[in-house]
Structure 1
Amino acid sequence: MLADDILSSFETNGPRSYFQFETFILNLLKFHIETEKKQFAISDSIRGIADAVAENGFDDFKGKTLIEITNSITRMPMKEFVDRMLYQLSRQDDLESVKNILIVTLRTIPAPTKAKIVSQVTNTYPAIEIFIWDSQDINKIINKHRKQANSIANNLFSLRLETAVSKSLGDWKKEREERLKELSDSYDRGQFAFFLGAGVSSSAGMPDWNTLLNSLFVSYLAKELSISQEDIKQIVNRLNEVDEPSALMAARYLRKGLSKERTEMREFTKIITENLYQLRDTQREINSDLLKSISNLCMPKRTGAKVRSVVTYNFDDLLERQLKNKSIQYHSIYSENEYYHPDELPIYHVHGFLPENPNGYEGLDKSTLVFSEEGYHQIYSEAYHWSNLVQLNNLREYNCLMVGLSMTDPNLRRLLDISARNLDKPRHFSLMRRMTKEKFIYSSESKSGDKKQVIADSKSAEEFLDKHHKLNEEIMKELGVSIIWFNEFDEIPPLLNKLINNA
């Protein structure tokens, strides 16, 4: 494989091609530097600028050399690139020991542009020498190690996984604080949006998907069969246990059966709404700490609104109630061609809206209720469906924080992939639950409640979990998302409160 062919394979846009390029360069430089009997280490810190460190330099680089791999030089104004670089340098650990910084980029950079970047950075950090390698410089290293370069290029996937799991395991809580600080900076700049999922509503006792489906099955079967509600519940629960039908398929079945008249959708929506709010666990506070934290972040500050919009996949109006209680102006949007006042916070219900009291809203019948396969497929297949455009716009314009989302929805992942095509670093964040060692190694016995150890080697299990979480982070990075880990759900409100405190 020729050097130009190798580099051209990374020319497609998006974080996936960027990470392939990064993996290629890291492994090529590792081989090149270690042939000189010099130290090379991939950086696992999220602070600062370095993707890798050559502690004792290499080639003509004398002393500690930081290596940063980027495509941003050609994808953003030069001033913005320099400002970001200076900011990263200000956060770099042990900067006084750094002698050189090598920036490696895929595309050819004109000499005057290189000179301007070097000049502006050295004006602030005169003790550090800045070097920029582009495709011409990379070709020299490839030609020097052709056999190894071809091997690396042909094994990028396995090398990427190997690199991810071989990184030294840092303190994930410390890394979380760094990500929260980065997120807080975007919140303070007013470049922030929420993406909210079922976990937010569950915090206030709203039913999960399967519970809602079970209740709707009961509502349908009670109309058709002369058996008791309790018997129906047992039948439905057992059916789910032995058959495990697709939730979307079950919803399609329900919708077809609940009403056979022309008013099918209206009747179906009414029954869903009734069940949705009747099933709420009243033992939980409807004004949950999580909803309070989210609404607090939506409160406009003296310098203006910090949260630009909210995208929610939930049907309910619990967030609207919180905002109303705090006298925060908002506008619920659940269909296309809706407009909001600049002083209002737009809340986009992209999967439909079912407020408990519908009298305060107009045009609810125009809402696309993504409850059945039909509704989901409609949105998934229509690239210009208003809900897709809303999500894409927010993902492109703002730094988005995803709360209460499992991140497994294929349409969301598709939209993240599309929006990340001009990025080489993640710009969004997702709060995700971390599997603890105790939950992984032990299982609860259903009858006695005692814990049973199901994995004998607890040390190996712990090491596996650490690598598993690291690999998940790498996978999410390809979608432009950084993970903010937590162990228990009650940790989320204090983490969100830090965004205000750090801003």
Structure 2
Amino acid sequence: MTTWKPTREQSQFIKRYAEALSSGDAALFAGAGLSRAAGYVDWRDLLREIAVDLELDIDQETDLVTLAQYHCNEKRGTRWRLNQAIVDRLSDVATPTRIHRILVRLPISTAWTTNYDRLLERAFEDAGKVVDLKLSQENLVHTRRGRDVVVYKMHGCVSQSHEAVITKDDYEQYGNTRPLFVESLKGDLIGKTFLFLGFSFTDPNIDYILSRVRILLGENVREHFCVMRRPPRPSEADSRQEAEYEYELRKTELRRTDLLRFGIETVWVDGFSHIEPLLAALSSFVHRKSVFVSGAAFDPAPLGRDRLDALAREIGMRLIREDYNLVSGFGSGLGEQCVIGALRGLYGIPRGEDSERLVVRPFPRVEPENQLRQNTRHREDLIARSGVLIVMAGNRERAKGSGETEPSPGVFEEVDIALREGKPVIPIGATGHAAREIWEKAMGNPERYLPGIETKGALEILGDSNATNEALLNAVFELLAKSQKVVGL
């Protein structure tokens, strides 16, 4: 299997956009491409039946806004069919893609979209974020308390299809009907660094707003990024196909140069399938200093309760003092001890600098039949916010009151999630139980559990139950330091 690696330009994008994310100045602009990947129709398919009514071939049309206007003209200004097409084709509940799940777990507090569907806001909500949704001029006046992210749907929503921006009239009158959206987007383009995804930049509103920002700021426009696919070279192409490829390549290069006028740098990918690993690399870089500690210990053997709890507290405290962040589900036992250690480490850190150093998200309780599914989603969310997983112990009581012990399935699930997401896993095998099993597997296949990291020496110490807590801690933090270099681009 080929391992995806970022190009030099992609690495520069990751570093620079990560800086904006870290400072709270990052924003997202989601176009139709994101929703299409989840199974929703694009504009062309949305208007296919409308084109049939007009006796036009949708596949030959390039100006779809004008086509929608033609329909209104033919119906003497009535747009019921257009509204119904939006409801019929975009009301179905689609599942957010992995790209959505990566994006919404980044520290993004502002998102714009031209999409009518509800996929973006649903993805944010699934990640446990409070969404302040802006659908109309009136919405902009009010603020939802405790919000984590503001989602601006500048072209409307399937829930209010009669107000959707879709015809030429809608676009031409946008500055008059939705002036606050225009001014809000101008402000965000000036004050934030945007990442444009799934976007074609053929939207008249966006062109107008970008132009106004450029007129206001001249050459001092802010840095933004868009991810675009290079035109694929046809294999075994004849002269006509080769000419078409060269023509498309030339147009793409001209468009890239034109976007630079607005401060938008193009991040090239060779195929749409490369967008997901690019964003996963961005997420890993952003969360590289965040560590999730997985573990439970009904039975504290072989270290014993006092020593095991002390080790957990020391891990939490040292993470904070060495400029890492602790992510915890606050499970009983070891989770509590790690958090106690982290709180001790936070003592004396100036207020404001400690807000993201300790992320505690207790496992929510739901109906018994939904609890396992909820636990999985919660684990996925916690690990998505982390760059590294540390495993301690990992056992539970087999049945309440039985006194018998079994390996913790939750710990194994957390390791599986981390491995699936390409996150390093550091098992402290000396703590026994699930951690021991995982350590043995890591010893047999270190590249799977600690990819790209030289593990010799440190990993062996982590399996030695005779090693002191200090020796175990030093081995853990040696591997942590090495993991930072691997993801450091």
Instruction: With a CA cutoff of 8 Å and minimum separation of 6, indicate the structure with the bigger relative contact order.
Output: 1
TM-score by length of 1: 0.49
TM-score by length of 2: 0.50
